[in-house]
Amino acid sequence: MIPDQWYAVLTSDEVRPGKPVGATRLGEKLVFWRDEQGRIACAADCCPHRGVALSAGEVVGGAVACPFHGFRFDSSGRCVEIPANGASAPVPKVFQARALPVREAHGFIYIWNGTPRAGEAGYPPLPWFEDIDESFSFGVARRRWKTHYSRAIENQLDVVHLPFVHRRSIGRGNKRIVNGPPTTLDDVHGLRVWVENAVDQGQTPKKPGDYPAPPDRPHQLRFLFPNLWENRISDDLRILVAFAPIDGENTLMYLGFFQRFMRTPVLRGAVNWLGARSNTFVAGEDQPVVETQRPFRTDLKMDEKLIPGDAPIILYRRRRRELIDAAQTKG
């Protein structure tokens, strides 16, 4: 995983008031819950007393309570009560659960993969697409892939596979020639891709270096580190994927359908639900292929022979490696 990054790991509706939720993310078992004000909290899913999963307990007074002996922990991980010692007894500081920095925005829950920082100002902004605002409504479907999240991300940046893996859906038309594709780093946070595939009529594909980003049309694909991807279908429709790392060999795909062309409440909900499910159909075409790729995790230097059409993947690997190296150097 890339250190010192905010990872989108759950949707907001997965954590409801009154009940803790356990989830393995970034290779660690975690517990999520909401305090009395509805604010999200996250900690290691392990009671420091006897090692029981806190997610098997309940939420009492905004704190998560261990199901074994009733120890209660607030959003900072501080133990606020040991029932066996009496409600008014002071709690030794040794009984501290490890809390993780956690934020909530845009319908997603993010956790910080790195050393906690002092104060809100010490953290970078949450990654998000500025062209998806509150005028969009959305539906989200989920699909678990048995692969590292870097493989799943690269599949969404791969414009070469469309006429083969998706020949009956989004790749119809047999457009095998890949022009470019123009790919740019928009800043330190992500990259943009312009897709222009064509039917092979004997022409020579345009090379990435000879094909600048078209100034007259917006990008189709955008990726924000560490794990958010957007397909810009139109001004009023986006497909979004959050690649939540479960561990080194498993990824939970959150497949979002964001739209603002249908605003009638009842119809809007139906359109969002159907749109999110259609995403799972397309992802289902990719999944059995991507899950065969080895090794699970990708990197800048590995035994693969890439072609010009792989430009987005090359740039993704290069920037990912730079972010990992920069974080390790700083550390």
pLDDT tops 90 at residue 302: yes
User: At 179, which amino acid appears?
Assistant: N
The pLDDT mean for the chain works out to 95
Which strand ranges, in their side-by-side order, compose the sheet holding 58-60? 58-60, 63-65, 72-73, 79-81
Q: What is the rounded average pLDDT of the residues 204-225? A: 91
**pLDDT higher than 90, residue 119:** no
Q: Is the pLDDT of residue 93 over 90?
A: yes
pLDDT-derived band of residue 215, with 50, 70 and 90 as boundaries? confident
- The residue-averaged pLDDT of 17-30 equals 97
Query: Considering the domain 5-122 in this protein, what is its CATH number?
Result: 2.102.10.10
Residue 106 scores a pLDDT above 80: yes
pLDDT at 331: 63
pLDDT at 255 over 70: yes
The helix/strand/coil state of 96 is strand
> Which residue has better confidence, 186 or 154?
154
pLDDT over threshold 90, residue 328: no
State residue 188's pLDDT score.
Answer: 67
Is residue 174 very low, low, confident or very high in pLDDT (cuts 50, 70, 90)? very high
CA dihedral 246, 255, 58, 67 (to 10 degrees): -30
Q: Which CATH architecture has domain 137-330?
A: Alpha-Beta Complex (3.90)
pLDDT, average across residues 251-265: 96
* Model confidence band, residue 30 (pLDDT cutoffs 50, 70, 90): very high
Q: Which residues pair with 237 in a beta bridge?
A: 234, 259
- By the 8 A CB rule, do 64 and 20 touch? yes
178 pLDDT more than 70: yes
For residue 43, which of 20, 16, 62 has the smallest C-alpha distance?
20
For residue 226, pLDDT beyond 80: yes
Structural domain boundaries in the chain: 5-122, 137-330
Least confident of 105-119, 183-197, 281-295, 312-326: 183-197
Share of the chain above pLDDT 90, in %: 90
Task: Decide: 23 and 247 in contact? Cβ < 8 Å.
Answer: no
Reported as type and span, the H/E element at residue 40 is strand 40-44
pLDDT digits (tens, 9 = 90+) for 35-53: 999 999 999 999 999 999 9
Q: What is the DSSP letter of 45?
A: S
- Dump the DSSP string for 277-294: HHHHHHHHHHHHHHTT-S
Whether pLDDT at 213 is above 70? yes
Of 19-33, 200-214, 257-271, 312-326, give the lowest mean pLDDT range.
200-214
